[in-house]
Amino acid sequence: MQALSWDPTLAKKYDLHGPRYTSYPTALELRSDFPSAPVKQALLTSDAPLSAYLHVPFCHQLCYYCGCNKIVTRHQHKADRYLDALAAEFDMYSPLLSHRGIQHLHLGGGTPTFLNAGQLTRLMFLLRQHLGFVPQADSEVSIEIDPRSCDLDKLTLLRELGFNRVSFGVQDFNHIVQQAINRVQPLSMVQELVEHARALQFESINLDLVYGLPLQTAQNFEHTLTTLLNLRPDRVSLFSYAHLPNRFAAQRKIATHDLLAGPAKQQLLLRAIERLSQAGYQSIGMDHFALPTDNLAKSQRQGNMQRNFQGYTTHGSDCLIGFGVTAISQVNGVIWQHQKDLPAYYAAVDAQQLAVDRGFQLSRDDQIRAAAISQLICHFELDLVAFGNAWQIAAHDDLRDAFEALEPFIADGLVVVTPTRIQVTEQGQLWVRLICACFDAYQRNSGQFSKVI
């Protein structure tokens, strides 16, 4: 994606809220009291490569902007209790997974590097003991790192434990912005970690940035972008700040008048796209950029990139299992989420039950719409002939509601539809979430989701 011409009228018209579509239906559609029988059935009948997500909810300090599922605590021993529960959970899942081994593992949070060296070592030992991994050459093992909770020794340990991809949370390099979000981390801290990760030959280094944070301006964001580009990570995740103070109490500490909104916030994204593409980064779906040498960029070029609860991935597994509190799984057309609070999660696991709190079984119509949304959000186009053949449908007729909903986007030049193809234009890529929503049969009150830009 190159520099985009900016149409203020469209920017105003589409300054809307919408789902991020890490799943379809979105997690809001999961039903409570979902039985564990379909979960077990899905697991037993799946033979897809096993992708595992493991949620570590703890953080040492609260970042005011944070929208993640986290528990802020200074008590390191809480993680020991948590690892006991995970061990019990691995043990329950193990017979259901026919011992085929983990191909992809992602540790997210919260902050996985809240765990100390002993706890990280124990966690990887437990995973190997109960579930096992496929041979190392084929596995992708990644972790989210808060630079403030990871020194060089911990990074070395992670490499020794088998991690081959790292993602560092940065958000912004300006001190005043860092103060406003209660997350002060000097550049030297990030720089040393990135250099050390390179020396350790991690296969991919990602940095997370957020645009639209309090006290960010067009000028100081330029500094963040320059600093980022000097570090030259393999990947960049550039998230739009999701300001939902009704859902995340700490965000109420952020003054609305400190936030750029509408066109001013959108300009930050445009400038980032411009600078990243000038520096040789490839735009990956929504919010993500990668150097052409990175596997995710290759995967997008080859047309096999996918999207799941962790965002974009090189591997489309229909067997993604989430472990830990709040974790979400998707296997064979069944989605389920674990209990969101720790006592309820512990109670379920202690009672030797799968900690299924809510879930959803996709109908055939859901699966068709999910496939269309996934294709559009990953590749910005949908080959209607291949899609129709794959699902044995006549897309224009069977998804008539979606084509009708696309009409305003077509009129505004954001989408081109022909009898054989839906193509999201470069301008339309900025609003791909809204374009995907045309295929969404559930169409919730969109205020429940974050702003698209």
Ligand X SMILES: C[S@@+](CC[C@H](N)C(=O)[O-])C[C@H]1O[C@@H](n2cnc3c(N)ncnc32)[C@H](O)[C@@H]1O
Question: What residue ranges bind ligand X (CB under 6 A)?
Answer: 59, 65-68, 108-109, 111, 144, 146, 169, 171, 208, 210, 239, 241-242
Q: How many residues can be counted in the chain?
A: 453
- Is residue 278 a known part of a binding site? no
Q: Is 182 helix (H, G, I), strand (E, B) or coil?
A: coil
If one asks whether residue 105 binds ligand SF4 (CB under 6 A), the answer comes out as no
How far lies 329's CA from each of 129, 133, 309, 344, in Å? 21, 18, 8, 18
Q: Is 171 annotated as a binding residue?
A: yes
Q: Which is nearer to ligand X, 270 or 393 (CB)?
A: 270
The rounded distance, in Å, linking the Cα atoms of 158 and 162 is 7
Contact 273, 281 (CB under 8 A): no
* 338 touches ligand SF4 by CB under 6 A: no
- CB–CB of 307/326 below 8 Å? no
Q: Who contacts 108 (Cβ-Cβ below 8 Å, separation ≥6)?
A: 53, 54, 55, 56, 144, 310
Q: Sign of torsion, CA 11 285 214 209? A: negative
DSSP states along 68-101: S--EE-S-TTHHHHHHHHHHHHHHHHGGGGTT--
Which one of 140, 146, 287, 366 is in contact with ligand SF4 (CB under 6 A)?
A: 146
> Given the complex with ligand SF4, which of 39 and 328 has the nearer CB atom?
328
Contact 126, 120 (CB under 8 A): no
Cα 16 from Cα 8, distance rounded (Å): 14
* 328 appears as a binding residue in the annotation: yes
- Do the annotations mark residue 59 as ligand-binding? yes
The distance of closest approach from Cβ of residue 106 to ligand SF4 in the complex, given in angstroms and rounded to an integer, is: 14
Determine if 109 is a binding residue for ligand SF4 (CB under 6 A).
yes
**Do the annotations mark residue 109 as ligand-binding?**
yes
- Which residues, including other chains, have CB under 8 Å from residue 439's CB and lie 6 or more apart? 24, 369, 372, 373, 376, 399, 402, 405
When the beta carbons of 146 and 234 are compared against ligand SF4, the nearer one is 146
Which one of ligand X, ligand SF4, none interacts with residue 428, CB within 5 to 8 A by kind?
none
Q: Residue 410's binding partner, choosing from ligand X, ligand SF4, none, with beta-carbon cut-off 5 to 8 A by kind? A: none
Task: State yes or no: 314 annotated in a binding site.
Answer: no
Task: Note whether 71 binds ligand SF4 by CB under 6 A.
Answer: no
User: Which residues, listed in sequence order, are joined to residue 108 by a DSSP beta bridge?
Assistant: 55
Counting contacts by CB under 6 A, is residue 111 touching ligand SF4? yes
57 binds, among ligand SF4, ligand X, none (CB under 5 to 8 A by kind): none
Q: If binding is defined by CB under 6 A, does position 189 make contact with ligand SF4?
A: no
67 is in an annotated binding site: yes
- C-alpha span between 451 and 18 (Å, rounded): 6
Binds ligand SF4 (CB under 6 A): choice among 50, 63, 85, 372: 63
Residue nearest to ligand X (CB): 169
> Minimum Å distance from CB 241 to ligand SF4?
12
420 is known to lie in a ligand binding site: no
Two structure tokens written together for 121? 């070592």
Minimum distance from residue 24 beta carbon to ligand X (Å): 20
- Cβ distance 239 to 20 under 8 Å? no
Is residue 123 within 8 A of residue 83, CB to CB? The reply is yes
CA dihedral 86, 87, 91, 92 (to 10 degrees): -30
Taking a C-beta distance cutoff of 8 angstroms, is the pair 172, 216 a contact? yes
Question: Is 203 within any annotated ligand binding site?
Answer: no
Is 205:191 a contact under the CB 8 Å cutoff?
A: no
| Min CB(167)–ligand SF4 separation in Å | 11
The DSSP symbol for 451 reads: B
62 lies in the binding site for ligand SF4 (CB under 6 A): yes
Q: Tell me: is residue 113 an annotated ligand-binding position.
A: no
Report in angstroms how near the CB of residue 189 gets to ligand SF4 at its nearest. Answer: 14
Say if residues 419 and 209 touch (Cβ distance below 8 Å). no
Nearer to ligand X, 53 or 239 (CB): 239
Q: Which is nearer to ligand X, 18 or 109 (CB)?
A: 109
Give the interface segment with ligand SF4, choosing from 22-30, 60-68, 258-266, 285-293 (CB under 6 A).
60-68
**Footprint of ligand SF4 on residues 161-180 (CB under 6 A)?**
169
**239 contact choice in ligand X, ligand SF4, none (CB below 5 to 8 Å, kind-dependent):** ligand X
By CB under 6 A, which span of 13-21, 61-69, 392-400, 404-412 interacts with ligand SF4?
61-69
Counting contacts by CB under 6 A, is residue 324 touching ligand SF4?
no
Q: Which does 62 bind (CB under 5 to 8 A by kind): ligand X, ligand SF4, none?
A: ligand SF4
Tell me whether residue 427 is annotated as binding: no
Number of neighbouring beta carbons within 10 Å of residue 33: 8
Q: Where in 202-231 is the site for ligand SF4 (CB under 6 A)?
A: none
339 is in an annotated binding site: no
Residues that bind ligand SF4 (CB under 6 A): 59, 62-63, 66, 68, 70, 109-111, 146, 169
Q: Which residues are annotated binding-site positions for [4Fe-4S] cluster? A: 59, 63, 66
